[in-house]
Amino acid sequence: MRPCPTNATQDVPILTADARDAASVARVCAASQVVLSTAGPFARYGDAVVEAALQEQTHYADITGEIAWVARNARRHGAAAAAAGVKLVHCAGYDSVPSDLGALMMADWCRQQLGCGIDTLYTLVRESLGGFSGGSLLSLADMPDQEAELWGAGAGAAPAAAAAGGAAAAGGGGGGGGGGEWAALQADPYYLAVALGGSRGSDRPPGLQPRYLAPARTWAGPWLMEGINSRVVHASNALIGQQAQQQQLLQPAMAMAGSAPAAVAAAAAGPSVATRAVAAAAAQGAASASAVGSGGGGGGGAYGRDFKYVEMVALGGLVGAGLMSAVSQLGAAAIERPETRQAMKSLLPPPGSGPSRALREAGFWTHDLVAVTEEPTPRVVRGVCGDRRDPGYWSTSRMLLETGLALALQQEALAADAAVARGGVLTPAAACGRVLLERLRAAGLRFEVTGVEGPAPARR
């Protein structure tokens, strides 16, 4: 990787490229250490940038929420990126950094302070103020049509089909369009985790009905971004678990390799040959770790034996939760039908539009984090994350920027964290881990564990 200047007063050149021109994009990637991508819908405009970043061995991060596109990138580029040590980091904005890094923080705290994993983590969206991005709204509304274009009409099956298909849709593993790629994504919380080599557990989507969440002491309704954020959290759980297994397998393997004549010959032949020998050993260890990580049931990962994740909007009472549920069901029904979906898209603000500067500065958001431990007598651990700026623009920009700076400026710290993957198609937590968490705190965002209670009340 090319060195990155650390002098804040240095003039930084502006490099331009046409995203539709692969050679132009490759030139920009070749001149960069990290590329940050914000132009969606990513399934339409993002492929050339990802491919050029991998080709030029440049780290990459974006703010997509298009999980089916992320899964395709994992299948297309995951192995090559891992072998090259290139990090292709998706979902590094408001979807899904608060959920992803919040889960990492809570799981780390439970392991370090209580010596246990998490059975269920609840993320409750509380007070917030912000505007909507035209590009983000179009990406969300466009996803069923994108899948239909890529995989055939069956791939664009609507969320209602996923709910009816249940386990059958989930069992498809996010493969071809025969079972409906969009339906599989909606039905399976482990959709992205499986695409990244993880396994399924017992978790299920929370659905569109209001629920009383006893550990959180609140009524809650469905949250629009749950279908994105929960997939990313489960993917991080799987990736970090795989990385831990890989480290365990590599320790004896590298000790043996260090005394082997082949390793000595490689070192004598020069650093490039030695590097390839280490990379080959790492690849073999990663393959073994993947086999271990994907074997058996329970969705085993770093966060808990059968970690489950629930993300909803906290609304206090049944009436508010019921109203949110009704609105969500109407929205799902509108997206289900192609004609109403097209009508909705025609009413959306255009890509590139967004809230005013005054609204961005006045905005804010808060998420409550409630973890129920997997102890014989479970306890409840409470936390919070949030920011004093608009989530969709100001906070998202900061999250993506800090991800890029971590990749560019803190490679030694990232390499020293055994839980952080060295390369591949990754989530923010799996790519940057605690380094990113500390950068976000230093940038003014709040990520804090606030207390522990026990035992946990009965859940519904």
Those residues whose C-beta lies under 8 Å from the C-beta of residue 415, and which sit 6 or more positions away, are: 422
Given a cut of 80, whether residue 297 has pLDDT beyond it is no
In a domain, 236, yes or no: yes
Quote the pLDDT of residue 16.
84
Q: Which range among 48-62, 113-127, 287-301, 433-447 shows the weakest confidence by mean pLDDT?
A: 287-301
Q: Encoding tokens for residue 271? A: 């650093």
In a domain, 198, yes or no: yes
- Yes or no: say if 364 and 129 are a contact pair by the CB < 8 Å rule: yes
In a domain, 391, yes or no: yes
Quote the pLDDT of residue 176.
38
Pinpoint the alpha helices (H) of 357-427: 357-362, 396-409, 411-416
425: enclosing H helix or E strand: strand 424-426
- The better pLDDT of the pair 212, 128 is held by 212
- Yes or no: say if 185 and 283 are a contact pair by the CB < 8 Å rule: no
Q: For 435-448, what is the mean pLDDT?
A: 98
In a domain, 113, yes or no: yes
Q: How many domains does the structure of the chain reveal?
A: 1
Of the chain, the percentage scoring pLDDT greater than 70 comes to 69
In a domain, 317, yes or no: yes
Quote the pLDDT of residue 376.
94
Angle between helix axes 134-151 and 67-84 (nearest 10 degrees) is 80
In a domain, 33, yes or no: no
- The better pLDDT of the pair 228, 362 is held by 228
pLDDT tens digits, residue range 347-371?
666 766 677 777 777 788 999 999 9
pLDDT tens digits, residue range 41-90?
888 889 999 999 999 999 999 999 999 999 999 999 999 999 999 999 99
Residue range(s) defining the domain that contains residue 379? 97-131+189-242+296-336+355-453
In a domain, 398, yes or no: yes
Given a cut of 50, whether residue 281 has pLDDT beyond it is no
In a domain, 74, yes or no: no
